[in-house]
Structure 1
Amino acid sequence: MLASATVSSTPTVAPTPTAVNEEAPYLLEVINVSKGFPGVVALDDVQLRVRPGSVLALMGENGAGKSTLMKIIAGIYQPDAGELRLRGKPVTFAGPLAALQAGIAMIHQELNLMPHMNIAENIWIGREQLNGLHMIDHREMFRCTAQLLERLRINLDPQELVGNLSIAERQMVEIAKAVSYDSDILIMDEPTSAITDKEVAHLFSIIADLKSQGKGIIYITHKMNEVFSIADEVAVFRDGAYIGLQRADSMNGDSLISMMVGRELTQLFPVRESPLGELLLSVRDLSLDGIFEGVSFDLHAGEILGIAGLMGSGRTNIAEAIFGITPSTGGEIHLDGQAVRIGSPNQAIEKGFALLTEDRKLTGLFPCLSVLENMEMAILPHYAGNGFIQQKALRALCEDMCKKLRVKTPSLEQCIDTLSGGNQQKALLARWLMTNPRVLILDEPTRGIDVGAKVEIYRLISFLASEGMAVIMISSELPEVLGMSDRVMVMHEGEQMGTLDRSEATQERVMQLASGITAIH
């Protein structure tokens, strides 16, 4: 069994935002930078300034240009116009290595580790320690890695293959890798999207240490509570433009959202009062050897069943067992009162199931293909005959779905990898909706999505349920589970702890069950 990427029992707290020293020279200045892609203006004359010993939160909806600017700062993209200044001097980075050598490191939103290599090899790739024969000194690499992980209180074996790690553990390795460069500027793009609350607290303690060393941190997140916990200043982008910068202690959630979306969001979770339909799905004693066992629940047409639990509780495994990715080893699934055996995703799709996976990069997207090719993937067999694809009809359907879900893309031929995370997620959701599913399984449907796009997704899920679709929604965000679900099923280490009706589901009650403190039998 793998060691968990949890922290020691030493209490950790979020760093207290300190008074910004406005007299200190800037570590980094972004001056009038612009960047365009075919058919898209990603950045239009934007600016940014980072001070030493401070955290600058960069906020904005998906597509606002945040990640594009960070890739320019990190040397991945070149700006079309404008200037970067590092410690007061103009700089141009020919590539990521040049940025790293200048003291800029980045934790990317999408994990970039190599699964076939171990933790030490991933952390020191390109910087391997050599022995006297100029060969890689693996023993020294393992020693340095163990020392780094110990300093950061990350309990992982340096020799463990990254492919064996959970997403949360991989995220902690990414954080350790970035810290290992000892850079003056550290960019964190959605660093907490896949880690638990305990690991978030751990990350915040690392940030506090970095601040005390005079490092400048650019922090990108969609989680408002994190902004007001750690940020000293907040800069806001919208539609590729710079909106403004304010001290974090002078703002609140409402004012920040208003800057981000250009309007007030009065209702985050839609109100649903439509009655539930007939029993559609019945799961009895579903098990997967060594992962979870004895999971039972009913799901009605028009119902949203939330599944909550901590990392490793078995939530995703349940979804994958129902969908046939990892077929169950015990139990029964009944659809419309009839027992069904689902041994593969193709069988699941044929029976009216759809699954939006938790990691769109690893298990959802075909990044080198177009938006159209990604969207049509699940329904191609229905538009094929006599060796030909009915491309005109297929394209029309994809265009219509793009409009309904408001997927922002210059064209369907655009490479999906160039879209923002939120628009990628919408395109994947469109893929599954075009299969006309009866049971829609959503695993972390709003991970890495801004608050405005979240509202759109919530309203869409609510609309689908009101039209009679049965929805299973897995989420690490408790307010999301509580705000959207008719009932909440709670898991703990592979055991079903209980199911709560909307009226009795509270954050405290759900966390008690998720922590294994109490159970409902």
Structure 2
Amino acid sequence: MSAQLLRMEGISKSFPGVKALSKVRLDLNYGEVLALVGENGAGKSTLMKILSGVYQKDEGEIYLEGNKVEIPNAKAAQEMGISIIHQELNLMPDLTVAQNIFIGREPRTGFNFFLKEKELNEKTAELLEKLNINLNPKETVSDLTVAKQQMVEIVKALSYNAKIIVMDEPTAALTESEIKTLFDLIENLKNKGVGIIYISHRMEELKVISDRITVMRDGQYIDTLYTKDTDMKKVISLMVGRHIQDESRPTTTVSKEAETVLEVKNLSTKNFLENISFTLKKGEILGFAGLMGAGRTEVARAIFGADKIDEGQIFINGKEVKINKPEDAVKHGIAYLSEDRKRYGLMLEMDVNSNILISSLSNYVNWLTFVNDSKGYVTSEEYVKSLKIKTPSIKQLAKNLSGGNQQKIVIAKWLAKNCDILIFDEPTRGIDVGAKTEIYQLLNELAQQGKSIIMISSELPEILRMSHRIIVMCEGRITGELTNEEASQEKIMDYATRTRS
């Protein structure tokens, strides 16, 4: 048997106005982890969607175990032993964990009409135990955290007897312990001869988990390197085609006398948050750190009116305000960029122009309620230029852009609304190293312009790099506050693990 499990040669793919792939090649061996890297928009996800039957190639050839194959749809890919865990979660929120994992393959009775729920849950429990994953088969997926939903995706892919598993940013929403569990699973799969294509922007992961690294840039194949012989700086250089400046600390300062634009006093929610109090100053980037489930996102959602506050006060520019729903927050100049930008931040089936203008549409409507398209186009073009959004035109659909450019569209939407308090929840999740740098520069520029920013991030180097002050949370409480000068990863983790005795 040849060591080569998969070979893709000369793969090209175009979308309206975009050449996504041009003569790309890739090969994968049995029992290997091949890291596939490149900036957002490099074509990684497109190539994998062709492999998994989601997209059809325009030209090129695919060989599986030495045989030339055509992959007309996702079902055909699964039958060939190809499973993919998409970066965008592909779950049915109203179904249970077990129903999602075995959708279409459920045990049934009575002329295949009645679902054998007990057998389904037992079968799922056995699989979860085998994979050492702590999930309740009966729990509804919509009630799970993003991290646990990601684990459901992984289990669903592993439930097929796959020869090839594609993992697209599988650890983006996972904790350290969950990542270790995933890596243990990957090692087990390698030992069984399964080939894994691993897409990640976390360079430190690649050294740990991959055997080789294939680099793409601008829809083209660049190089394939053996991980053990490779320096990650070289990989980054191949990815971006330019030098990335690494700034370890904020480039601006905020004086103690700076105006307080937001003050939260004793904010509590019935089921989780407890006496949350902090201030945010003009031109400040206030970082929120903590482990998964610490309550950072819950604080953001409470301030924005997405979740109900049971106790506490919110003051904006010294005046107490009542925020019962997101519309109230927006009226007071507060914007919230969710960690799940595709679900809560974007209208993927609409164009760039519509997405940018949606929150400020009233500014472009005349007394006859007609939309002034030309005025709106000017605004959208200005933000596309100033934020360096890579798009063929403002008429391009948002779903066709890379993750980094989609994030910039969400930022543009709130800047067009002229919000002064911006809450960024995991602003660089799923974004490559080059786009991260652009987002960092943009956040610093916004702070310099007098915008005030709350930044929630699970990446400690990012928190240290960007934040003037850092709030640390654990189990729904604030357990520490640090200035950037006194903060370190060790101190943050100390506060982040101060659980209740």
Q: Which residue of 2 aligns with 1:366?
A: 347
Q: Which residue of 2 aligns with 1:389?
A: 371
Q: Which residue of 1 aligns with 2:485?
A: 503
Q: Residues 269 and 458 of structure 1 are in contact (CA less than 8 Å); yes or no, is this contact kept in structure 2?
A: no
Q: Residues 236 and 259 of structure 1 are in contact (CA less than 8 Å); yes or no, is this contact kept in structure 2?
A: yes
RMSD: 1.5
Match of 2:105, SS state, is coil
Residue-by-residue CA offset, 1:283-328 (whole Å, 9 max, x unaligned): 1111111120111111111111100111111101111111111132
Q: Which residue of 2 aligns with 1:3?
A: none
Offset at residue 439 of structure 1 (A): 0.8
TM-score, normalised with respect to structure 1: 0.93
Counterpart pick for 2:152 among 142, 149, 173:
173
Structure 1 letter corresponding to 2:326: P
Counterpart pick for 1:235 among 210, 214, 220:
214
Counterpart pick for 2:446 among 453, 464, 480:
464
Counterpart pick for 2:142 among 163, 171, 185:
163
Offset at residue 275 of structure 1 (A): 3.9
Q: Which residue of 1 aligns with 2:241?
A: 262
Offset at residue 423 of structure 1 (A): 1.2
Structure 1 letter corresponding to 2:31: G
Q: Residues 253 and 468 of structure 2 are in contact (CA less than 8 Å); yes or no, is this contact kept in structure 1?
A: no
Counterpart CA distance in 2 for 1:192 and 1:65 is: 20
Offset at residue 515 of structure 1 (A): 1.0
Counterpart CA distance in 1 for 2:384 and 2:147 is: 31
TM-score, normalised with respect to structure 2: 0.97
Structure 2 letter corresponding to 1:414: Q
Match of 2:356, SS state, is helix
Counterpart CA distance in 2 for 1:132 and 1:324 is: 48
Counterpart pick for 1:129 among 107, 123, 130:
107
Structure 1 letter corresponding to 2:267: L
**Superposed counterparts of 1:53-132, under 5 Å:** 53-131=31-109
**Superposed counterparts of 1:8-87, under 5 Å:** 24-87=2-65
Q: Which residue of 1 aligns with 2:168?
A: 189
Counterpart CA distance in 2 for 1:206 and 1:361 is: 28
Q: Which residue of 2 aligns with 1:428?
A: 410
Residue-by-residue CA offset, 1:360-388 (whole Å, 9 max, x unaligned): 12211212211211111111122223211
Offset at residue 131 of structure 1 (A): 3.3
Offset at residue 225 of structure 1 (A): 0.7
Offset at residue 192 of structure 1 (A): 0.7
Match of 1:388, SS state, is coil
Residue-by-residue CA offset, 1:262-288 (whole Å, 9 max, x unaligned): 122132457423444322111111111
Counterpart CA distance in 2 for 1:307 and 1:24 is: 50
Q: Which residue of 1 aligns with 2:306?
A: 325
Offset at residue 421 of structure 1 (A): 1.3
Offset at residue 26 of structure 1 (A): 1.0
In terms of mean alpha carbon deviation, does 158-167 or 45-54 score higher? 158-167
Counterpart CA distance in 2 for 1:270 and 1:500 is: 14
Q: Residues 288 and 328 of structure 1 are in contact (CA less than 8 Å); yes or no, is this contact kept in structure 2?
A: yes
Counterpart pick for 2:127 among 148, 169, 185:
148
Offset at residue 134 of structure 1 (A): 2.8
In terms of mean alpha carbon deviation, does 341-350 or 467-476 score higher? 341-350
Match of 1:379, SS state, is helix
Offset at residue 24 of structure 1 (A): 4.4
Match of 1:27, SS state, is strand
In terms of mean alpha carbon deviation, does 114-123 or 64-73 score higher? 114-123
Q: Residues 270 and 458 of structure 1 are in contact (CA less than 8 Å); yes or no, is this contact kept in structure 2?
A: no
Counterpart CA distance in 1 for 2:88 and 2:182 is: 17
Counterpart pick for 1:208 among 157, 163, 187:
187
In terms of mean alpha carbon deviation, does 87-96 or 387-396 score higher? 387-396
Residue-by-residue CA offset, 1:244-270 (whole Å, 9 max, x unaligned): 000001112211110100122132457
Counterpart CA distance in 1 for 2:142 and 2:490 is: 34
Q: Residues 250 and 468 of structure 2 are in contact (CA less than 8 Å); yes or no, is this contact kept in structure 1?
A: no
Q: Which residue of 2 aligns with 1:294?
A: 275
Residue-by-residue CA offset, 1:64-97 (whole Å, 9 max, x unaligned): 0000000000001111010000001111011000
Offset at residue 38 of structure 1 (A): 0.8
Counterpart CA distance in 1 for 2:80 and 2:385 is: 44
Q: Residues 270 and 462 of structure 1 are in contact (CA less than 8 Å); yes or no, is this contact kept in structure 2?
A: no
Counterpart CA distance in 1 for 2:384 and 2:465 is: 26
Match of 2:480, SS state, is strand
Structure 2 letter corresponding to 1:56: L
In terms of mean alpha carbon deviation, does 119-128 or 266-275 score higher? 266-275
Q: Residues 35 and 79 of structure 1 are in contact (CA less than 8 Å); yes or no, is this contact kept in structure 2?
A: yes
Residue-by-residue CA offset, 1:135-187 (whole Å, 9 max, x unaligned): 33222211211110111111222111111111111111100000000200000
Offset at residue 518 of structure 1 (A): 9.5
Structure 2 letter corresponding to 1:249: K
**Superposed counterparts of 1:276-287, under 5 Å:** 276=255, 277-287=258-268
Counterpart CA distance in 2 for 1:353 and 1:118 is: 35
Offset at residue 194 of structure 1 (A): 0.9
Match of 2:447, SS state, is helix
Offset at residue 422 of structure 1 (A): 1.4
Counterpart CA distance in 1 for 2:346 and 2:227 is: 35
Structure 2 letter corresponding to 1:198: S
Match of 2:275, SS state, is strand
Q: Which residue of 2 aligns with 1:5?
A: none
Q: Say whether 1:491 aligns with 2:463.
A: no
Offset at residue 479 of structure 1 (A): 0.6
Match of 2:4, SS state, is coil
Q: Which residue of 2 aligns with 1:20?
A: none
Match of 2:271, SS state, is coil
Structure 1 letter corresponding to 2:140: L
Residue-by-residue CA offset, 1:110-147 (whole Å, 9 max, x unaligned): 00000111111111112222336433322221121111
Q: Residues 327 and 342 of structure 1 are in contact (CA less than 8 Å); yes or no, is this contact kept in structure 2?
A: no
Structure 2 letter corresponding to 1:74: S
**Superposed counterparts of 1:441-452, under 5 Å:** 441-452=423-434
Q: Residues 4 and 29 of structure 2 are in contact (CA less than 8 Å); yes or no, is this contact kept in structure 1?
A: yes
Offset at residue 348 of structure 1 (A): 1.2
Q: Residues 274 and 466 of structure 1 are in contact (CA less than 8 Å); yes or no, is this contact kept in structure 2?
A: no
Q: Which residue of 2 aligns with 1:417?
A: 399
Counterpart CA distance in 2 for 1:437 and 1:330 is: 25
Residue-by-residue CA offset, 1:37-72 (whole Å, 9 max, x unaligned): 111110000100000011000000000000000000
Residue-by-residue CA offset, 1:440-495 (whole Å, 9 max, x unaligned): 11000000000000000000101111111111000011110111001110010101
| Structure 1 alignment gaps of length 5 or more | 1-22
Q: Say whether 1:199 aligns with 2:178.
A: yes
Match of 2:274, SS state, is strand
